[in-house]
Each structure stands twice: as structure tokens, then as C-alpha cells.
A and B are shown apart, each in its own frame.
Chain A
């Protein structure tokens, strides 16, 4: 790997995620052993692995839901245990993750992306509501705003969860199998949408998937790194001159 080239563009390209010799075993069965990897700002990382390769475990460790038994994880240069700025991370869970009968509208779900630690004792402001409208608009689902989340199609639900993840204007977007359980055409539209975001906006992506074709088409044929049964495919985007990053929702809507 050409280290000097990486350093040269390091000006606004800080380290977003750093895994150092992370290991995890469940009931004496090793799931991850000594995984080390760095994700730099504006990388698009595809994390590929078969079932049981530890993709989900790794993801859960990165977002703080599971602790590594060995090794360490840092987010935005801070050890994960002390990391507080969770609003910088957008998270799109696996689609089959929620109860389809749950009585909630699309608007309620998207707005819930804002309910973090920072908002703990605060009311929902007018600005929050307008951010929610922007997020719905950016993903072209404003007309679905009052629909019950369980009544939507798979592709529409996926957009809702992406809108929820984007409402905080995140710097890192984590997607867990976003393409599973939806038809091929919708998959392509959705993947195109995230690719577009990666090329034009200051967001770093970590996407877990088992869909090799789609990932390879954007991230290249060979993984940058392999660790056990996990492969990391990476594509870096530096078309963007302006590293400060504008408000994502506004610019997404303008492009709309």
C-alpha cells in the first residue's frame, strides 16, 4: 500500500474507525480473531463475509452494542468506550429487524433519528420537524409521511431507515445488509443512491453485505484486506474539494 499517498490527502481525511487486534469468541467458538482495520474519512467500505463470519458481531462492536473481548476500537480518534458524539453516526439496521405491526408513522420513525443523548430532556423543536421534512424530501418519500411503517414495501422501508439515519447529518453511515430482502431493481436504485451520496458528500460508509456483485461493481474486484472469513473492500472518494461539509439534507434536496 502506498502510504505517502494516503498521508498527502490526509488534510481533511481523519481516521473514522480504527480496529486494533479485535477478537471475540462466543461459547469458546472464535468468531473474530485479531481483526485490525482502519477506515479513513470518505472511504466507502464494503464488509463482506459469509453467514457466521462475524460481520454483525463486528458491526455491533463498532456501534458499542457489544464489547470486544480483546483489542480496541476507536471512533473518530476516541476510544469507543469514551465516545460520546453518537449523533455523528447514522445507523441503518437490517430491515427484518422491527415488528411489522408496530403502530408508528414514517414521520415518527424518521424523527426518532434525532432522539439521542443530546436531546434527552429537550422537546421536539420546529427545526427538528423541518429537518424531518427535509430528510423525507431527500429520499423522495414525503408522500409516505403519514403511512404506517409496516404497510410499506421493503424498498420504501429501507428509504425510511436511511432517512432516519441521515436526519442527524452524520459523518459515518453504517448499513447492515441494506440490500437483503428487496427485489433486484429496488436494490439497484438504493445502491445507486448511496453511491451518489458517497461521491458528492462528506460521508464515510461502512456497509455490511453478502451481495458480492453489487459491492464489487463499485468497490473493485479485490478486497483491500482480509481477516479470517471477512473481506474489506474499499473505495475512497476525493472528488469533493470542500472538506467542511455542508448540511447533507439541504444539498441532497437541491440535487433532488
Chain B
């Protein structure tokens, strides 16, 4: 029980609870726009940024964020060159990110330990700077999504119709890319770059099977995200398991449960 009162664990809970709102939310938009794998790619590029941050001694999350934003623009650019092959641009940028990261890793062998905390997540080492970054990202994402929920719905449902009704589609696409980059760089320290994509996509996958309306889907992904992160942290803390991995496995368990629930409802 004492782990719940430990300060590092409380920081983990707060950081986790905040990311569990924004990551599934952005993930829902990405999945519905058939860009599910973008999260994975941005996370891997972000890791290259984190490694560079350690190398040049700048706050790693900030460099990671910068890398993620640049990568999301590069993906948009490539996506326009290879129309209808969105996954191609995503794969190219992902390998580029991993290549860069491996270069930076070998350049600074001494920081291998700290980098691995970004690969698999180390939510227990969140410091107050990290918490502030996460809080600011949460506020930005929630404010933007609330302000533009109508437009984001239309853009996600039917991009052409959004353009025909005079919405600045290009501006909204850039906005979504930046928000995604923000969320991913803020969450890699929590679940780790290798697992970030699970927190983005699995709640959305549950939402697709269970929700009957868009409003419901939005509520559902956030609830599922919170459930998995908070319960996962608690289970991991009690049993001394890896928190990132526990959260992701819980998410998969929830997904299986929701698919089964859907089958039962139909029967």
C-alpha cells in the first residue's frame, strides 16, 4: 500500500492520467483517418531527438518534440508525392528515425541507460519539469480539440466535404500533425517509444467496435485510456512489474473484452 503514497508514484499517476486523456483522443483522429501507424513513426523519430538531446545536453523531451514535428511535416510532404500510399511515407520516415537514433546512440555510448528509459518508458522517473510539459501539452490539446470539435469531426469523416464547405483543410491538417507530435513526445517517457502507438491506437480500436456515435467514441477512448493507465500503474506498482508493458497488456485485454462484448450483443 505504501507505494501509493510515495511521491514518485504520485507523479507517475498524475502524468499517466493526463497522457491517458490526450493520447487516445489524438489516436482516435489518426485511426479514423487511416493514419494509425503515424504514432509509431513519430515516436521513433522522437527517440532520435531524445538521443541528440542527451548528446548536446539539451532537455531531451524538447529536442524529441522538435524532431517529431519536423517528421510529421515530412510525412505530409511525402504523402502528397505518393498519393493514396500514406503508409509508404510513414514507413520511410520511421526507418529514417531509427537510423538517426542508432547513429546518435553509438556516438554517445555513456548515456545508453537513460535512452533506454525513453524506449521502454520510465514513468517512475518523471520529474517536475516532465509533469509541467505534460500538463501544458494536455491543456493545448484539449483547448484546440474543444474549440474545433465540429470541424475535426467533418475533416475526419469526409475531408473532401470539409474542403467544399470552405474549411481551411490544410491548416487543420498541420494543426493535427503538431498536436500529435506534442502528445507523442510528451508520452514517450511514460509508456516508452516502442509502446506509444498502443496508447494511441488500442483505445480507438475499442471505440470503433463499441461506440454508436462520435460523441460516444470520444468519451469511450478517454475512459479506456484512463482505466488502462491507472489500473496498469497500480498493478505494476504492487507487483513490481514494468509499468509501460503492464499498461499495454491491459489495453489489449480491454480490446479483446470489447470485441467479445460486441459479438455477444449481436447474438
Answer yes or no: A124 CB below 8 A from chain B CBs: yes
Cross-chain contact A99 with B153 (CB below 8 angstroms): no
| Nearest CB of A to B257, in Å | 18
One of A60, A102, A148 near B32 (C-beta < 8 A): A102
Cross-chain contact A91 with B34 (CB below 8 angstroms): no
Cross-chain contact B158 with A93 (CB below 8 angstroms): yes
Cross-chain contact A115 with B153 (CB below 8 angstroms): yes
Cross-chain contact A108 with B151 (CB below 8 angstroms): no
One of A105, A109, A115 near B167 (C-beta < 8 A): A115
Q: For the complex, give the distance between the alpha carbons of A60 and B207 in Å.
A: 32
Cross-chain contact B154 with A86 (CB below 8 angstroms): no
| Nearest CB of B to A214, in Å | 24
CB neighbors of B among A79-125 (8 A): 84, 86-87, 89, 91, 93, 97-99, 101-105, 108-109, 112-113, 115-121, 124
Chain B residue numbers with a CB within 8 Å of A117 are 165-168
B-side binding surface: helix, strand, loop or mixed?
helix
Interface string of B223-247 (1 = CB under 8 A from A): 0000000000000000000000000
Cross-chain contact B165 with A86 (CB below 8 angstroms): yes
Chain A residue numbers with a CB within 8 Å of B126 are none
Answer yes or no: B161 CB below 8 A from chain A CBs: yes
Known: A93-B160, A124-B150. A105 touches B166 (CB 8 A): no
Answer yes or no: B212 CB below 8 A from chain A CBs: yes
Q: For the complex, give the distance between the alpha carbons of A148 and B215 in Å.
A: 12
Cross-chain contact A97 with B213 (CB below 8 angstroms): no
Chain B residue numbers with a CB within 8 Å of A105 are 212-214
Interface string of B133-168 (1 = CB under 8 A from A): 000000000000001001101100110111111111
Answer yes or no: A184 CB below 8 A from chain B CBs: no
Chain B residue numbers with a CB within 8 Å of A98 are 157-158
| Nearest CB of A to B17, in Å | 24
Answer yes or no: B208 CB below 8 A from chain A CBs: yes
Chain B residue numbers with a CB within 8 Å of A104 are 153, 157, 213-214
Closest B residue to A104 by beta carbon equals B214
Chain B residue numbers with a CB within 8 Å of A89 are 164
Known: A65-B160, A103-B207, A104-B157. A115 touches B213 (CB 8 A): no
Interface string of A132-163 (1 = CB under 8 A from B): 00000000000000101000000000000000
One of A63, A86, A102, A108 near B215 (C-beta < 8 A): A108
Cross-chain contact A99 with B211 (CB below 8 angstroms): no
Cross-chain contact B214 with A108 (CB below 8 angstroms): yes
| Nearest CB of B to A102, in Å | 6
Answer yes or no: A64 CB below 8 A from chain B CBs: yes
- Residue with the highest number of chain A CB atoms closer than 10 Å, among B154, B163, B207: B154
Cross-chain contact B216 with A93 (CB below 8 angstroms): no
CB neighbors of B among A43-90 (8 A): 60, 63-65, 84, 86-87, 89
Q: For the complex, give the distance between the alpha carbons of A104 and B166 in Å.
A: 22
Count of chain B residues near A, Cβ 8 A: 27
Q: For the complex, give the distance between the alpha carbons of A148 and B151 in Å.
A: 19
| Nearest CB of B to A211, in Å | 22
Cross-chain contact A64 with B207 (CB below 8 angstroms): no
Cross-chain contact B157 with A109 (CB below 8 angstroms): yes
Cross-chain contact B208 with A63 (CB below 8 angstroms): no
Known: A105-B212, A105-B213, A148-B212. A121 touches B147 (CB 8 A): yes
One of A63, A115, A146 near B151 (C-beta < 8 A): A115
Cross-chain contact B157 with A112 (CB below 8 angstroms): yes
Q: For the complex, give the distance between the alpha carbons of A84 and B153 in Å.
A: 21
| Nearest CB of B to A233, in Å | 23
Chain A residue numbers with a CB within 8 Å of B214 are 103-105, 108
Chain A residue numbers with a CB within 8 Å of B157 are 98, 102, 104, 109, 112
One of A97, A112, A118 near B154 (C-beta < 8 A): A112
Cross-chain contact A103 with B216 (CB below 8 angstroms): yes
Cross-chain contact B153 with A108 (CB below 8 angstroms): yes
Chain B interface (Cβ within 8 Å of chain A)?
32, 34, 147, 150-151, 153-154, 157-158, 160-168, 207-208, 211-217
17 further A-B contacts with Cβ under 8 Å, apart from A91-B165, A102-B32, A146-B212, are A63-B160, A86-B164, A86-B166, A87-B165, A91-B160, A97-B158, A98-B158, A101-B208, A103-B207, A103-B212, A103-B213, A104-B157, A105-B214, A112-B161, A115-B154, A115-B167, A117-B166
In the complex, 9 of the A-B residue pairs with CB atoms within 8 angstroms, ordered by the A residue number, are A86-B165, A91-B161, A97-B158, A102-B157, A104-B214, A105-B214, A112-B161, A117-B165, A124-B150
10 interchain residue pairs of minimum CB distance: A86-B166, A116-B165, A117-B166, A103-B211, A103-B217, A105-B213, A115-B150, A91-B164, A63-B164, A112-B154
